[in-house]
């Protein structure tokens, strides 16, 4: 029975990866949109405008245009705590599937958020978040050897081999500049291994 459950989990992970590759362009649009939207100012004087824009967004029907959909999903993260950048970045395939279902039904973003809240309560989502959240945190964290003990624990929790952790730690010690994130630095480290 456990091997059957293990096989199902493996199939489920494979399906997740397949869906993620199918939505890579939309994910890139979302990432670019997030950077653009996050650069907007959030002053008190803009609060009323922001509230009005959020109210407009929630009453808006879900867009058929993938670029507009990506921007709207990012804007949702600014309007409600019920969806965050983790959900948009890592849950992209699920969100796109749910948004598509809602779009086909002619629903609004408010109705989409109701469905999304139900989805987040599902065991599959909580398992997915538990398995990917450390990666999400680590990729965004600035690589700094002073924090290496905490960062290496996250890598251990992710199941990264101890040899890689040790060698990457040495690379962090000599190459971290206080600006680059682990996503950038780990990619540079992998590239340096290819050159050897």
Q: What is the CA radius of gyration of the chain?
A: 19
Does residue 131 register a pLDDT over 70? yes
- Predicted pLDDT at 124: 86
Q: Within a 10 A sphere around the Cβ of 23, how many other Cβ atoms?
A: 19
Q: What span, in angstroms and rounded, lies between the C-alpha atoms of 154 and 156?
A: 5
181: phi then psi, degrees, rounded to nearest 5: -85, 170
Kindly indicate the confidence band of residue 20, based on its pLDDT and cuts at 50, 70 and 90: very low
Residue 10: band (very low, low, confident or very high) from pLDDT cuts 50, 70, 90: low
Closest CA to 60 of 77, 72, 74, 48: 72
Render pLDDT for 68-100 as a digit per residue (tens, 0 to 9): 888 898 899 999 988 888 888 888 778 888 888
3-class DSSP state of 123: helix
The set of residues, in sequence order, having a beta carbon less than 8 Å from that of 60 and lying 6+ positions away, is 72, 108, 109
Q: How many CB atoms lie within 10 A of CB 35?
A: 10
pLDDT tens by residue, 37-69:
443 433 333 445 578 889 999 999 998 888 888
Residue 9: pLDDT band with limits 50, 70, 90: low
Closest of 145, 146, 136, 150 to residue 183, by C-alpha: 136
Phi/psi region, residue 141 (left: phi>0; alpha: psi -120 to 50; beta: rest), is: beta
Nearest to 147 by CA among 173, 168, 171: 173
Assign 77 to helix, strand or coil.
helix
The pLDDT score that the predictor gives to residue 159 is: 86
Residues in the chain: 196
For the chain, the domains span 2-39+49-122, 141-195
Mean pLDDT for the chain overall: 78
């Amino acid at each position: 029975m456990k091997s059957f459950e293990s096989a199902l989990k493996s199939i489920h992970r494979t399906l997740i990866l397949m869906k993620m590759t199918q939505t890579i362009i939309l994910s890139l649009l979302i990432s670019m949109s997030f950077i653009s939207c996050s650069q907007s100012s959030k002053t008190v004087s803009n609060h009323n405008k922001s509230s009005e824009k959020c109210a407009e967004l929630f009453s808006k029907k879900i867009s058929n245009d993938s670029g507009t959909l990506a921007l709207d999903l990012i804007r949702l993260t600014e309007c409600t705590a019920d969806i965050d950048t983790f959900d948009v970045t890592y849950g992209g395939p699920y969100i796109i599937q749910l948004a598509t279902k809602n779009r086909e039904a002619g629903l609004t973003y408010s109705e989409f958020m109701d469905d999304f809240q139900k989805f987040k309560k599902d065991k599959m989502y909580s398992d997915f978040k538990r398995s990917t959240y450390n990666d999400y945190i680590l990729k965004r964290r600035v690589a700094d050897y002073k924090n290496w003990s905490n960062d290496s624990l996250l890598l251990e929790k992710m199941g990264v081999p101890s040899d890689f952790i040790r060698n990457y730690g040495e690379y962090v010690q000599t190459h971290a500049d206080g600006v680059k994130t682990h996503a950038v630095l780990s990619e540079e480290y992998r590239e340096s291994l290819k050159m050897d």
